[in-house]
Structure 1
Amino acid sequence: MSDRKSKFPLGDLGVVKVFAPATVANVVCGFDVLGFAVNEPGDVVEMKLTNTPGVIITKITGDDGRLPMASEKNTVSASVQHYLKHINRLDVGVEIELHKKMPIGSGLGSSSASTVAGLFAINNLMGKLLTAKELVPFAMKGEELACGYGHADNVAPALLGGFVLIRSYDPLDVISLPTPPNMFAAIVYPEVDVPTKDARQMIKSKVLLKDAVTQWGNVAGLVSGLFMQDFELIGRSMKDVLIEPTRSILIPGFDDLRKLAMDHGAIGFGISGSGPSVFALTKDKETADKIVQQQQQHLKNLEINSKAFVSAVNAEGPRIL
C-alpha cells in the first residue's frame, strides 16, 4: 500500500460528515466473534483535510468532557493516523469534530462507532483506497486503545453492517452473515456503570470442556439459524454458559429483564457487549416496542433510569450524511 496515493489532490473534497452505527457484540453465545449493527443510536464525525500535516481533534460534543482531545489518545484520531501511515500519506492534514450521539460505556460499541465513522470519513476523503473489510484492522487499533484489547465484534459489523462472524483473529478472517427479514432489536440501557475493562477482567481464563462444547454448539446453531431464517433455532442457540453468568451480576434485575423479554415474545435475550445494555431479538417492531416499554418500567420501579432503542438490523454500516 505504500505506493498508493489518492487520485484526488488535497483540499478538493472539502468536508465529509459520517454517521456510524452502534453495535451489539457477542450476540449472547459468540464472545468476541459475533456482532450485529443497529440503525440507532450511533456517532457522527465531521472531517476536513488541511495543508498542515497531522491529525487533530478540534471539537467533541456529547461526551460531558470524558473523551481525550489529544490525537494519540482519542480512538478516532489514533485510527486515522494508523490509516494515513499505511497509505504513506503522513503529509496529509486532518481536522476532526466528533459528535457523540450515543451513551459512553453502554455496551453498544460507543468507541467503535466513533472510530468507524472516522475511518470511513478519511477513506472517502482519500479516494476510497481501502474496502470496508480492509479498514477493520485499523478500527481494531481504536478498540485496543479504548479497552486494552483489539477485538472486532463491534467494529466489523459497524463497518460492514448486518451480522458478522470473526472466524479468526490471526490471521483476521471476517465473514458477513445473512439477516432474516423483519428482525428487530429491542435494546435497553440501564444507566449504571459497567466499564468494559472491568467486565473483561471478571471473565475466567479457563473453562470446562463440557461448557466449551455447549458454547460451540450454540454458536454453530445461531449461525445456522441466520442462514436458514429459523427464528426458533436462533432462539435456542442464544444461550451463554461461559460469560453471561458472571457479567449478568453487574446488571440490576437481569433475570427479571430476561423474563419480561421472553414473556412478551422475544426470540432471544442477552447482554449487549460487556453491558450494562441488554437486548432482545424479535420478529417485528411491535414486539420490540412492547418489550422495551415493559423493561423500562421495571427499571423505573427499581429507581434506575434507562434509555431504550428499537431498531431493525442495520444492513449498510456507516454512511455519509
Structure 2
Amino acid sequence: MNEIKIFCPATIANLNCGFDVLGLCLEGIGDEMVIRQTTEKGIRITKITGADLPLETAKNVAGVAALALVNTINPDCGFEIEIHKKIKAGSGIGSSSASAAGAVFGINELLGRPFTKPQLVDFAMKGEALASGCEHADNVAPCVLGGFTLVRGYNPLDVIKIQSPSELFAVVLHPQIELKTSDSRAVLPSAVPLKDAITQWGNLGGFIAGLYTSDYSLISRSLRDVVIEPHRHKLIPGFENVKNAALDAGALGSGISGAGPSIFALCKGQDKAEKVAYAMSSSFLDTGIAFDFHISKVNDEGVKTI
C-alpha cells in the first residue's frame, strides 16, 4: 500500500470544566486527506481544498506533525499530503487538530504502524503548537483515539480514553466567523483564584465520574466553567443568549467549544438534541451572523481509513 485516504473528525475541546485536558470526538463532521508514499524523502503538501492554508511544510500543521513523526523514525521514503478541508479554520471544533492527527495517522498506516495511537497524539501535538502557540492534546487526543479523552498529564503525555454514555448527543452551533486560538488564549489570566480552581477541580472530577457511571444528572451539574468562560465569552457574539436557550430547552450543559466561536451543548437523547439545536439556532438569528449547526453522537473510533 502506497496511498491512503482518511477521514479526520471534528472535536469539541475543554467541555467547560476541562480546559486543555478534556475533549470528545464528533461523527460525520471532518476533513478528508490523501497521503502517498514517495521515493523522495521528506514531506510535501501538494494540494489543499476548502481553505486558504500554506502549502509550505513548515508553515502547515499537518506538515509540522508529519515531520515530527518521520524525523523520529527516519524512513527511507517520503510522503505527499493532500488536504480537503471541511472544518473551517478558527471554528472551535478542531480544524488544525484534524489536519495534524490525519497526517500522522496516515503516515503511520503506510509505514506499517510502527507507533501506537497514544504515540501519534504526541506527534500531532507538535502541529497544534503551530496553530495555538503551545502543545496541547485536548483536540488531537479525541481525534486520534475517539470517544472522550482525558489528558492526565503532559510530561510525560498520559491520555485516558473514556467511552461515552449511550444516549449522549452533542449539538454544535458554528457562527461563520473566525476566532484564532492564539487570540482566545491571549485574553486568559495568568493566575486563577484558589476558590475557582477548587470549583473547577470538583466539576472535572464529577464530569468524569458521570461519564463512567452514565449519570446524566451528575454530568449536567458538572458542566460548569468558572475559569475560562468568564474571560472568553465576550469574544463570541450572542453567546449568553445561545447558552441560556440551550439550557432552557433541556440541554445538560452548554459552553464554548474549544477556543470558540462555536458553542456546544450536551444532551440526553436525539429528540432532546434536536430541540436544543432549534432553540440555539433561533436565539442566534438575532446576531445577523450566518451559522450552521451539527447534531452528533460521540464518535468512538476517531480518525480512520475510508
The TM tier, using the shorter chain, reads: over 0.9
Q: Whole-Å Cα distance in 1 between the matches of residues 191 and 287 of structure 2?
A: 35
Question: In the alignment, which residue of structure 1 is the partner of 2:119?
Answer: 134
- Separation of aligned partners in 2, 1:212 and 1:36: 22
CA deviation string 1:256-282 (max 9, x = no partner): 111111111111111100101011111
Aligned to 2:162: 177
Q: Displacement, 1:293?
A: 2.0
Structure 1 CA distance, aligned partners of 2:61 and 2:288?
34
Summarize the alignment of residues 268-307 of structure 1 with structure 2, pairs less than 5 Å apart. 268-307=253-292
Aligned residues of 1:106 and 1:276 also touching (Cα < 8 A): yes
Greater shift, 208-217 or 192-201, is seen at 192-201
Q: What is the letter of the counterpart of residue 34 of structure 2? A: E
Match of residue 313, structure 1, among 289, 295, 298:
298
What residue is the counterpart of 2:35 in the other structure?
Answer: 47
User: SS where residue 59 of structure 2 aligns?
Assistant: coil
Distance 2:287 2:187 in 1: 25
1:193, distance to aligned residue in structure 2 (A) = 2.9
> Helix, strand or coil: the match of 1:72?
helix
Structure 1 residue runs of 4+, over 3 Å off? none
Question: Secondary structure at 2:224's aligned position in 1?
Answer: coil
Cα shift at 1:221? 0.5
Alpha-carbon distance between aligned partners in 2 of 1:287 and 1:87, rounded to the nearest angstrom: 48
Give deviations 1:111-162, integer Å, cap 9, x for gaps: 0011111111101000011111111110000001111111000000100000
Corresponding position of 1:79: 65
2:82 pairs with 1:97: yes
Q: Confirm or deny: 8 A CA contact 2:97 2:124 kept in the other structure.
A: yes
Structure 1 unaligned segments of length 5 or more: list them.
1-12
Residue identity opposite 2:54 in structure 1: P
Question: Residue 60 of structure 1 aligns to which amino acid in structure 2?
Answer: I
2:239 alignment partner in structure 1 = 254
Task: Show CA shifts across 1:151-202 (max 9, x none).
Answer: 0000001000001000111121111123111211010011233211011011
Q: Per the alignment, in what secondary structure is the counterpart of residue 152 of structure 1? A: coil
For 1:241 and 1:300, locate their aligned partners in 2 and report how far apart those are by CA, in whole Å: 27
Amino acid at match of 2:70: L
Residue by residue over 1:264-319, the C-alpha shift from the partner in whole angstroms, topping out at 9 and shown as x without a partner, is: 11111111001010111111122212222222222223211111011000100111
* Correspondent of 1:35 among 13, 23, 30: 23
Q: Contact conserved, 1:47 with 1:96, CA < 8 A, in 2?
A: yes
The match for 1:21 is 9
Aligned partners of 1:241 and 1:259: how far apart in 2? 16
In the alignment, structure 2 segments of 5+ residues that lack a partner are none
Letter in 2 for 1:62: G
One-letter amino acid of the counterpart of residue 76, structure 1: A
CA distance in structure 1 between the aligned counterparts of 2:108 and 2:177, rounded to whole angstroms:
36
**SS of corresponding position for 1:299:** helix
Task: Report the RMSD for the aligned CA atoms in angstroms.
Answer: 1.0
Equivalent in the alignment of 1:116: 101
Deviations 1:71-119 (A, max 9, x none): 1111112211111111121x31211100001111011010001111111
1:4 corresponding residue in structure 2:
none
What is the percentage of aligned positions where both structures have the same residue? 47
Q: Is the 8 A contact 1:18 1:118 kept in 2?
A: no
Aligned to 1:245: 230
Counterpart AA for 1:40: G
Instruction: Name 1:7's counterpart in structure 2.
Output: none
In 1, Cα distance between the equivalents of 2:201 and 2:91?
27
- Rounded to whole Å, the distance in 2 between the matches of 1:129 and 1:54 is 18
